[in-house]
Structure 1
Amino acid sequence: MIPGVLLLTYLSGVLLVRLGLPVFLGYLGVGMALRLLGFSGDPLLDFFKDLGVYLLLFTVGLGLRTERLIRREIWATGIFQLLLLPVFMAALYALGLGQNLLALLVLAVALINPSTVILARVLQGKGELSALYGQLALGISVLLDVVSLALLILAGFQGVGPSGFLVLAFPLLRPLLARLFHLALSPELKLLFGVTLALLGAELARFLQAPEALGALFMGLGLSRYPGAGEVAEKLWALREVFLVAFFLWAGMAVGPDGVLAGLVLLILLGLKPVFLFLSLVRQGFRARTAFLVGVGLGTYSEFGLVAAGVLQGLGQMTPQGVGAVALAVGGSFLLGAPMVQKAHLLYERLKPWLKGWERPGLHPDEEPQGALGARWLVVGMGRMGTAAYRFLAEQGEGVLGLDSDPGKVEYHTAKGRRVLYGDAEDPALWEGLDLNGVKGVVLALPDLEARLRATKALRAKGFGGVVGAVSYAQEEDARLLEAGVDVVFNPLLEAGERLAEKVLQASEA
């Protein structure tokens, strides 16, 4: 039976990936189908479910970082989002989804919290992880993660005896854990060590009569910030995702007719999240475009909300029907939100006339340049390749100006004496407002193909007749770039291989 369930789950995941949706939606769907077929669970799946949750919380503790939270706008926006708590708590109470006030609070914060993991994947896939709006979105998400974890810990220790609080001392084991980890000289041993620690934390917590999931979390905190912690988390990631399949199947099986209404109500409340985010950021002085992209990026429920519901159910503070309602709401939010995230830039352009009316007058923190400062060349994207192009043009005596959507890179290059300004190449307003008189050419050193295409089309639509050069990471990209209006296409991998072969031949003839 289990192999058949896993095969069906795999096929559902394949379908969802082809549709551009998160695979866990397929797992939830299979769980719902299994319920309709009368499947009531399996001890092996239950073990996998628990192990998936342990590994998830262990890696959360392992990788918890607060460096992203020091920016004022992140704190301000996160606190503004928490103003939604009374609305969500009232709705959860009316729907009967929490057994006490603390459970309602935990679940409400977990629902307000967006999906940090999926958000990071989407931003990385689009090459926008370091863009200003990407940094804001991820920082706000991490802040809400921390608040959610703190409340979940508080709920977990409710009613726990004195021995249970010894779980809080697990991080003090760091010197011992670090010494043991230092003995792991192969990748296999590091993976085994991570799984062992997660299970050890859970078992020790059970022995101390505390929630097992919190034991795994605090054991992860014990190894956090150790130089090799990131490597352990990376190796556990794939294994964790495999075992979480069982958790999502279980959550899908919890979805019943009595949870449909509650799930639909939560989906209706979902619309408040992006609205609050947008209003918070524009009131802080950000442009409507940045506020809109952040709002859309954070406009879904989080799979962590589903995990929190599962933990609360294990603590007896939530019913299985409540877990089913949350599963329906989380799944529905991604069905609605995933296409919007992919098309966020196009959506903004359509809504731009109305959204711009919400901007505050004056200079914005994400203001873009209006002129090329007398430069003859623009380099867009100041990563390693863009920096090399900038340096070469500058050495030839050409006036050059760099643009990048990462404020950190702008600050770094400015400190090095380079002329680099903030500018998002995917924002048509940048090219519409930028005076290109005297500019001889533009170098597009952007990682995302769609960003290069949009920038090229915007340049040509503006009437720019200079040279446009763009990097290409695959021969399939060349035709699309040339069709969009690029004059010179450069494939760094292909060129590097040819250059290496040339040097080898020269060395052999010497």
Structure 2
Amino acid sequence: MEFIWLLFAFVCGLAVKMINLPPLIGFLLAGFLLNFLGFEASSTLDSLANIGITLMLFSIGLKLHVQDLLKREVWASTLSHMGVWSITFAGIAMLLTILSLPYFGVLEFSTAALIGFALSFSSTVCVMKLLEETGELKTRHGQLSLGVLVMQDIVAVIFLVAATGNIPSIWAIGLFGLLLLRPIINRIVDQAGHGEMLPLTGLFLALGGYELFYLVGVKGDLGALIFGILLASHPKATEMNKSLMNFKDLFLIGFFLSIGFTALPSLDMILMSLLITLVMLIKFVLFFVLFSKLQLRSRTSFLSSLILSNYSEFGLIVVALSVANGWLNKEWLVILALAVSFSFVITSLIYRNAHRLYRRNKEALRRFETPKCLPEDIFVQPPNAEILVVGLGRVGRGAFESLNCLAEGTVAGMDADKNRIQTMKEAQQNVFYGDGEDADLWERLDTSGMRLILLALPIAEDSTNIAIQLRKANYQGHIAAIARYQDEREELLASGIDNVFNFYTEAGMGFAEESLALIHPTAKAE
């Protein structure tokens, strides 16, 4: 990457972060500024952007399970939403045509519906970044959103085949043979170890999957996704994803910069793109209604709809093809590039307050719930639990197992990762599924017999929010939490949490004390 790109990305990213906004907004701004100042994108920037997207799709695959895509709330909501939205947007565009607004006056219903179809996709990049930043990838609404994104990606493949006329090679049938190669792929990952070979193996599989699918005439991004899904059940899937995270985030900067290089807009283009951005509200309402009708709880419907209500970079591909085929004027590519950028900014700003918005409006939103929810949205509280560990990752799992040794029969665990809960239940452990940030859960959960709740969550803000919800739900016991940094510890204590464990500092102290006891047995006792 040329230094000037890094300079603008760094300055703009840091500037927006200093005012408490997501850095991706700064990266988008950097791209438009570079374009305005006369800099041009090169093939290097496009290559970096493509690698970032490929790694991101591979990472999605590592967290997905095929059975999740077969759920009715995933495929039915995706296909229904795309159809209804495309027709709805076409109707709105026809109304704007009557009003003779710029660029809408020459549209026909078919071309307007095509633009609506392009805007029906949600941004995989934007959604993934937000879910990662908030630690919600494995929550109910996080997994639902990822399922919808994958279904949209499948529709994208079908569209590209139909629009370009490029039918996949007969050799594409051989891709089904990847299922037979799964043991070999797993063996390769086993041999990679835990060092630098693990991220290198991930890069090899992600880019190799892309090239393999592209070679037989199938969308390369889908190949990266499929290879990730093949590894989703591997014990090292989570470790591999973490090892690739920094690489992926760095390469994705190229993607955000590349959007700004699309074209320089006129004032009319900016106004039309803002108008299209406002229509996202309808996209949100459609998602919410469909999810609610499919028996999802109001909170799941609300959060999923909110994070999916943006426009996708794939929409630019659809419009580019339409321009190349003479179906649309080239100005529409600029208008949609701006609308996509604006949608990223709005979604990033609003979703950061999503849980607060739900708590504020939950009574009104609950009216849309069906009387009967889906079975997996109903939690069963373990009886006789005096101590509850919320979050069963590495730290939480260790605390849960240690407490079970000290107070067996009175400890329960809760986590938002259904697969983790299922595995622990099969091992006869006292755990149940639940999202700690779910305000409804704490209102319905009986905490009267609980004396201590441990919040073993990686994001300090989540622990603060849960502590507030617990007090509002009239919880009378003690709350403990973990922190990585001293400033986080102070914030958590200020929010009313009784004890905060800095696991970097205090784990080191514990290690020192245990080691010192080897040569001075009385040191530990003292």
Q: Shorter-chain TM-score category?
A: 0.7 to 0.9
- 1:149 pairs with one of 153, 157, 170: 157
Q: Which residue of 2 aligns with 1:286?
A: 296
- Separation in 1, partners of 2:355, 2:271: 33
Q: Tell me, in whole angstroms, the C-alpha distance in 2 between the residues paired with 1:222 and 1:358.
A: 36
Taking the aligned partners of 1:170 and 1:106, their CA distance within structure 2 comes to: 33
| SS of residue paired to 1:271 | helix
Corresponding residue of 2:516:
505
The counterpart of 1:391, out of the listed 384, 398, 401, is 401
Change (3 A) 1:292 1:413: same
| SS of the residue 2:295 aligns to | coil
SS of the counterpart of 1:340?
A: helix
Residues 1:234 and 1:7: Cα distance change in structure 2 (over 3 Å): closer
Indicate yes or no: 2:140 matched with 1:132: yes
Rounded Cα–Cα distance in structure 1 between residues aligned with 2:351 and 2:282: 16
Kindly indicate whether the alpha-carbon contact (under 8 Å) linking 2:111 and 2:328 is maintained by their aligned counterparts in 1. Answer: yes
How far the C-alpha of 1:401 sits from its partner, in A, is: 2.6
Q: Does 1:407 pair with 2:418?
A: yes
Q: 1:343 to 1:199 in 2, by over 3 A?
A: closer
Q: Deviations over 1:430-456 (max 9, x none)?
A: 333333333222222222212212222
How far apart are the structure 1 equivalents of 2:224 and 2:451? Answer: 54
- 1:218-237 matches, within 5 Å, as 237=248
1:124-149 deviation line (CA, Å, top 9, x unaligned)? 22222111111112211221122123
Distance in 2 separating the partners of 1:133 and 1:188: 28
The partner residue of 2:498 within 478, 487, 490 is 487
Letter in 2 for 1:154: A
Which residue in the other structure is 1:79 paired with?
A: 79
Find the counterpart in structure 2 of residue 348 from structure 1: 358
Aligned to 1:17: 17
Supply the RMSD in Å over aligned alpha carbons. 4.5
What is the CA distance between 1:464 and its match in structure 2?
Answer: 3.1
Superposed displacement of residue 325, structure 1: 0.5
What's 2:43 paired with? 47
Measure, in 1, the Cα distance between the counterparts of 2:296 and 2:200: 48
Structure 1 residue 373 corresponds to structure 2 residue 378: no
Measured after TM superposition, the shift of residue 343 of structure 1 is 0.3
Q: State the match for 2:436 in structure 1.
A: 425
Change (3 A) 1:285 1:490: same
Check the 8 A contact 1:171/1:222 in 2, yes or no. no
Letter in 2 for 1:72: R
Q: Which amino acid aligns with 2:348?
A: A
The amino acid that maps onto 1:294 is: S
Distance 2:415 2:213 in 1: 45
Deviation at 1:275, TM superposition (A): 0.9
- Indicate the percent of aligned positions where both proteins have the same amino acid: 26
Cα distance between partner residues in 2 of 1:166 and 1:56: 29
Label 1:480 to 1:105 Cα distance change in 2 as closer, same or farther (>3 A).
same
Q: Quick one: distance in 1 between partners of 2:229 and 2:151?
A: 18
Q: Which runs of 5+ in 1 are unaligned?
A: none
Measured in 2, the distance between the counterparts of 1:483 and 1:61 equals 39
Which of 129, 137, 160 pairs up with 1:121?
129
CA displacement at 1:74 relative to structure 2: 1.0
Q: CA deviation at 1:277?
A: 1.5
AA at the equivalent of 2:358: Y
Q: What is the correspondence of 1:232-247 to structure 2 with a 5 Å cutoff? A: 237=248, 240-244=251-255, 247=258
TM-score normalised per structure 1: 0.78
1:410 CA displacement = 3.0
The alpha-carbon deviation at position 390 of structure 1 amounts to: 3.1
What CA distance in whole angstroms lies between the structure 2 residues aligned with 1:371 and 1:215? 45
CA distance in 1, matches of 2:219, 2:300: 39
Q: Distance in 2 between matches of 1:215 and 1:459?
A: 47
Which of residues 285, 290, 315 in structure 2 aligns to 1:275?
285
- Ranges in structure 2 where 5+ consecutive residues have no aligned partner: 98-102, 522-526
Report how many residues are paired.
489
* Structure 1 counterpart of 2:471: 460
CA distance in 1, matches of 2:91, 2:254: 34
For residues 313-349 of structure 1, give each alpha carbon's deviation from its aligned partner in whole angstroms, at most 9, with x where no partner exists.
5676654311110112112222322221000011112
Q: Structure 1 residues 226, 445: closer, same or farther in 2, change over 3 A?
A: closer
CA 1:313 to 1:167, structure 2 compared with 1: closer, same or farther past 3 Å? farther
Preserved contact between residue 457 and residue 482 of structure 2 (Cα < 8 Å): yes
User: What is the CA–CA distance in structure 1 between the aligned matches of 2:454 and 2:228, rounded to whole Å?
Assistant: 41
Give, in angstroms, the shift of residue 186 of structure 1. 6.8
Q: CA, structure 1 residues 103+250, in 2 after alignment: closer, same or farther (shift >3 Å)? A: farther
